[in-house]
C-alpha cells in the first residue's frame, strides 16, 4: 500500500496501563488485545507530568509539551476550567484537514469548543454537560435522533460507601455509555469517508477511580462490598476487548490501528497533603481566624469540624453530606481568601508547587534570581528526603524543575516544581481550607475517597499498515503519536513539534520504513478564548471533583 492510500484508526482508552492488559491477556481474558500484541507492536507510552487528562490529551493532539501548548492541568494558573480555546497551536485533525485528509473525531477530551475540520468532530470530556457539541453544527440533531442515549458524562453520581443500589446503577449507566460510544463509532466508520478516525472510551479511567478499592485490600475496602464487586475492573476490560473486535471488524488489514492511553492508573492508599507539608516547613501561611473560614465559625459555636465529618462518615445516609462538605471547601477561591500572602513563599499547584515570585504573582514576596532558586532548591531537597512517618517509605523519587521538562512560550505558567508521587501515594493539593479538614483528610474514609490515581506510564498497541509483528515498543512518548500519524499519512510534520515519528514500528522493507521524514514550517495559531458560563464551569467542576481531579 502506498502512503497516500494509508488510513489510520486511533482508539483511545483513557487511563489504561499496559501491565493490566498484558496480565489479563496472558490469563486468556483479553483475546483481542492479545491478538493485537502478537500481530503488531506494543509497549509503554510515557505521558506528560503531571499525567492529567487535559495536558496529556493536548500533548497527544499537538505533538508538543505543555510549555508550548499551554495546558498544565484541569484549571489554568489564572483561569478556571480549561478548554480547547486555550490550546496554543494546531491540532492533529486540523493539520490533516488542511492537507485534504478526511477526518472523523469522536469523544476526544479537550475538543470543546469544536473547530472546523474536513469531516466530523464530536466533542468529548471537558465539554459542558447536558449537550453535544459537533462540527458541522447540524450533526448534533441527527446524532440525538439516531443515538438518543449518547452522552459524554455519567448522569449517575459515582457510588458512595456501601450503597449497592447506587453502585449497580452507576455500573449499568457506564455500560450503556460504552455501548453508545461503540455504536456511534461504527456508524460513522461505515457511512462516511475517512482517512483518519479517532474515538476515545473514558470508562476505563472512571471504573478504575471508583472500583480499584475492591481489587486492592490495602485500600481499606469493605469486605462485604468486595465480595460482590471484586473483579469489576477486569470484567469491564473484557467488555472493551469485545468492543475492539467489533471496531476492528470494520477495517481491512492495511489500516494502521493505534490503541493508546493518555496515562496509566494504579491504586493508592496513602495521601500526601501538600498544603499541610508546606505549612509545616514554614513556606505557606494562612489566616487562622479569617471570618470567611467555616472552621472559624464552627469553633466559635463550639463545634469541631473534624468530629462533625467523622460522625457523617460513620453513617451511610450522611456520606453524601460529608462528601459535599469535603468537596465544597476544596475550591481554588480559598487560596486567595485564606492565604496570608505577605508571609507565603510557596503554594500548591496541580502536580507541583508555585513559588510566590515577585513580579509574577499578584502578592509575590520571593525575589527573582538567587532568592527564587534558594526556595526552589530547599523545596526540592526536602521533598526528595521526605519519608512517610508510618512506613518509612519515600514519597518522591523524582522532582523536576520546570525547565527540565517543559519548554516554550508558556513556561512561565508552569509550576516551578513538578512531580508524581511514587507507589501507593497520592498527592493532594489540600487547598487552603480549615486546618480541621486538612488534618481530617489523612483519615477520611476510603469509601468516599477515589481509590486509583494516574500513573505516567500508559499503553500503546499498534498493528496493520506495515507495522512489525510481535514487536516491543521502547522509549515512546505521547508527543510522538501525532508526528507518527502525520508521517504514516504522508503529511509534513510541523517543525515545532517535540515528538518524533516512530519509524521503527514499520517493517524494514516497507515504504514507510524507507521514506524520508518531511517537515514544514510551524504556524503560529492562537485561538479566540472561549469562556465557560458560570453554570457550565460549575457542572464540569462537579464531575471533576467526583473523580478527585480538583483535590
| Domain span holding position 318 | 270-445
543 CA to centre of own chain: 13
**Cα distance between residue 489 and residue 8, in whole Å:** 8
* Nearest C-alpha neighbor of 196 from the set 248, 119, 143: 119
My answer on whether 180 and 89 are in the same domain is yes
- Reported as a single tens digit per residue, the pLDDT across 207-265 is 998 888 888 777 666 677 888 889 999 999 999 999 999 999 999 988 999 999 999 99
* Contact between residue 173 and residue 207 where contact means Cβ atoms under 8 Å apart: no
Please give the grid coordinates belonging to residue 128. 459542558
My answer on whether 389 and 296 are in the same domain is yes
Q: What are phi and psi of 265, to 5 degrees?
A: -140, 150
Is 461 within a domain?
yes
Cα dist. 438→274, 285, 371 in Å?
10, 14, 29
Say what the alpha-carbon torsion angle 361, 366, 368, 372 is, to the nearest 10 degrees. -110
Strands 264-267 and 452-455 come out as antiparallel
Strand order of the β-sheet with 457-463 is: 134-135, 119-123, 103-108, 196-201, 8-13, 256-260, 457-463, 40-46, 471-477
Strands 40-46 and 471-477 come out as parallel
My answer on whether 352 and 341 are in the same domain is yes
* Nearest C-alpha neighbor of 316 from the set 408, 418, 219, 447: 447
Secondary structure of the chain: what % helix, strand, coil (to 5)? 40, 20, 40
**Cα distance between residue 499 and residue 484, in whole Å:** 9
* Contact between residue 208 and residue 156 where contact means Cβ atoms under 8 Å apart: no
Question: Which positions ≥6 away from 83 have C-beta within 8 Å?
Answer: 110, 112, 113, 126, 127, 530, 532
Question: Which positions ≥6 away from 473 have C-beta within 8 Å?
Answer: 41, 42, 43, 44, 45, 460, 462, 502, 505
CA atoms within a 13 Å half-sphere pointing along the CA-CB vector of 308: 17
My answer on whether 274 and 261 are in the same domain is no
Final residue in a domain of this structure, among 445, 468, 491: 445
* Contact between residue 537 and residue 333 where contact means Cβ atoms under 8 Å apart: no
CA-atom Rg of the chain in angstroms: 23
* Nearest C-alpha neighbor of 25 from the set 257, 259, 299: 259
Name the one residue in this structure whose C-alpha cell is 499525567: 51
* Contact between residue 463 and residue 39 where contact means Cβ atoms under 8 Å apart: yes
Is 462 within a domain?
yes
* Nearest C-alpha neighbor of 490 from the set 520, 522, 518: 518
My answer on whether 416 and 465 are in the same domain is no
* Contact between residue 30 and residue 241 where contact means Cβ atoms under 8 Å apart: yes
pLDDT for residue 328: 53
Residue ranges for the chain with pLDDT beneath 70:
1-4, 157-162, 219-222, 288-337, 430-450, 524-527, 542-551
My answer on whether 103 and 228 are in the same domain is yes
My answer on whether 415 and 378 are in the same domain is yes
My answer on whether 460 and 439 are in the same domain is no
pLDDT for residue 494: 96
Final residue in a domain of this structure, among 427, 445, 463: 445
76 CA to centre of own chain: 15
Is 319 within a domain?
yes
Complete DSSP assignment for 338-405: HB-TTT--EEEETTEEEE-BBTTBTT--BPTTHHHHHHHHHHHHHHHH-B-TTT--BS-S-EEEHHHH
* Contact between residue 400 and residue 49 where contact means Cβ atoms under 8 Å apart: yes
- Reported as a single tens digit per residue, the pLDDT across 292-301 is 555 555 555 6
Complete DSSP assignment for 121-165: EEE-TTS-SSS--EESTTHHHHHHHH-TT--SS-SSPPP-TT-HH
Is 54 within a domain?
yes
Please give the grid coordinates belonging to residue 436. 480541621
Is 287 within a domain?
yes
Cβ of 194: how many Cβ atoms within 10 Å? Answer: 19
- Length of the chain, in residues: 551
Is 350 within a domain?
yes
My answer on whether 467 and 388 are in the same domain is no
* Nearest C-alpha neighbor of 347 from the set 421, 436, 431: 431
Final residue in a domain of this structure, among 418, 445, 472: 445
Helix (H) or strand (E) holding 53: helix 53-62
Burial class (CB in 10 A: 0-12, 13-18, 19+), 361: middle
My answer on whether 259 and 333 are in the same domain is no
* Nearest C-alpha neighbor of 147 from the set 120, 190, 176, 173: 176
DSSP designation for 213: G
Is 56 within a domain?
yes
Task: Find the farthest-apart pair of alpha carbons in the chain and give their distance in angstroms, rounded.
Answer: 78
- Read off the CATH number of the domain in which 23 is found: 3.40.720.10
My answer on whether 428 and 476 are in the same domain is no
Please give the grid coordinates belonging to residue 504. 521503527
Cα dist. 177→79, 113, 151, 246 in Å?
31, 22, 7, 16
Total domains in the chain come to 2
**Cα distance between residue 395 and residue 139, in whole Å:** 48
Please give the grid coordinates belonging to residue 343. 508571609
My answer on whether 195 and 255 are in the same domain is yes
Is 434 within a domain?
yes
Amino acid at each position: 500500500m502506498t502512503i497516500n492510500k494509508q488510513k489510520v484508526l486511533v482508539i483511545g482508552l483513557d487511563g489504561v496501563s499496559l501491565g493490566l492488559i498484558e496480565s489479563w491477556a496472558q490469563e486468556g481474558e483479553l483475546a483481542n488485545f492479545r491478538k493485537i500484541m502478537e500481530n503488531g507492536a506494543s509497549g509503554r507510552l510515557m505521558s506528560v507530568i503531571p499525567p492529567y487528562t487535559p495536558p496529556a490529551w493536548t500533548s497527544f493532539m499537538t505533538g508538543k509539551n505543555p510549555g508550548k501548548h499551554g495546558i498544565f492541568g484541569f484549571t489554568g494558573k489564572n483561569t478556571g476550567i480549561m478548554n480547547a480555546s486555550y490550546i496554543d497551536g494546531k491540532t492533529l485533525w486540523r493539520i490533516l484537514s488542511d492537507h485534504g485528509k478526511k477526518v472523523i473525531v469522536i469523544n476526544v477530551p479537550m475538543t470543546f469548543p469544536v473547530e472546523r475540520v474536513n469531516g466530523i468532530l464530536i466533542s468529548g470530556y471537558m465539554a459542558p454537560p447536558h449537550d453535544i457539541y459537533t462540527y458541522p453544527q447540524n450533526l448534533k440533531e441527527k446524532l440525538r435522533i439516531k443515538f438518543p442515549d449518547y452522552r459524554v458524562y455519567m448522569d449517575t453520581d459515582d457510588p458512595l460507601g456501601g450503597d449497592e443500589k447506587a453502585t449497580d446503577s452507576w455500573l449499568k449507566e457506564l455500560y450503556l455509555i460504552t455501548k453508545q460510544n461503540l455504536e456511534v463509532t461504527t456508524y460513522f466508520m461505515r457511512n462516511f469517508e475517512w482517512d483518519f478516525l479517532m474515538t476515545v472510551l473514558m470508562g476505563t479511567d472512571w471504573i478504575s477511580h471508583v472500583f480499584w478499592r475492591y481489587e486492592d485490600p490495602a485500600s481499606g475496602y469493605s469486605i462485604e462490598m468486595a465480595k460482590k464487586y471484586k473483579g469489576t475492573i477486569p470484567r469491564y476490560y473484557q467488555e472493551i476487548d469485545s468492543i475492539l473486535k467489533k471496531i476492528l471488524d470494520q477495517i481491512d488489514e492495511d489500516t494502521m490501528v493505534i490503541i493508546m492511553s493518555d496515562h496509566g492508573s494504579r491504586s493508592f492508599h496513602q495521601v500526601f497533603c501538600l498544603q499541610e507539608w508546606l505549612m509545616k516547613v514554614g513556606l505557606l501561611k494562612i489566616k487562622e481566624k479569617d471570618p470567611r473560614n467555616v472552621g472559624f465559625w464552627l469553633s466559635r459555636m463550639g463545634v469541631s469540624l473534624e468530629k462533625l465529618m467523622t460522625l457523617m462518615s460513620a453513617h451511610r445516609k450522611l456520606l453524601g453530606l460529608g462528601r459535599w462538605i469535603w468537596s465544597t471547601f476544596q475550591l481554588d477561591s480559598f487560596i486567595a481568601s485564606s492565604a496570608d500572602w505577605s508571609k507565603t513563599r510557596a503554594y500548591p499547584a496541580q502536580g507541583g508547587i508555585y513559588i510566590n515570585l515577585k513580579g509574577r504573582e499578584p502578592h509575590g514576596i520571593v525575589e527573582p534570581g538567587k532568592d527564587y532558586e534558594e526556595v526552589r532548591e530547599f523545596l526540592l531537597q526536602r521533598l526528595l528526603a521526605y519519608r512517610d512517618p508510618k512506613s518509612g517509605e519515600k514519597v518522591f523519587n523524582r522532582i523536576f524543575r520546570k525547565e527540565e521538562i517543559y519548554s516554550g512560550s508558556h513556561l512561565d505558567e508552569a509550576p516551578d516544581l513538578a512531580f508524581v508521587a511514587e507507589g501507593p501515594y497520592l498527592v493532594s493539593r489540600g487547598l487552603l481550607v480549615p486546618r480541621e479538614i486538612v488534618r481530617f483528610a489523612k483519615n477520611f474514609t476510603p469509601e468516599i475517597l477515589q481509590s486509583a490515581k494516574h500513573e505516567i506510564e500508559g499503553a500503546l498497541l499498534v498493528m496493520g499498515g506495515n507495522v512489525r509483528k510481535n514487536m516491543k515498543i521502547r522509549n515512546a512518548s505521547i508527543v510522538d503519536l501525532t508526528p507518527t500519524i502525520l508521517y504514516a499519512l504522508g503529511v509534513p510534520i510541523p517543525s515545532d513539534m517535540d515528538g518524533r515519528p516512530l519509524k521503527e514500528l514499520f517493517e524494514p522493507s516497507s515504504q514507510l520504513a524507507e521514506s524520508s521524514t518531511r517537515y514544514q514550517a510551524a504556524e503560529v495559531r492562537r485561538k479566540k478564548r472561549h469562556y465557560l458560563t458560570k453554570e457550565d464551569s460549575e457542572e464540569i467542576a462537579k464531575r471533576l471533583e467526583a473523580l478527585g481531579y480538583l483535590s
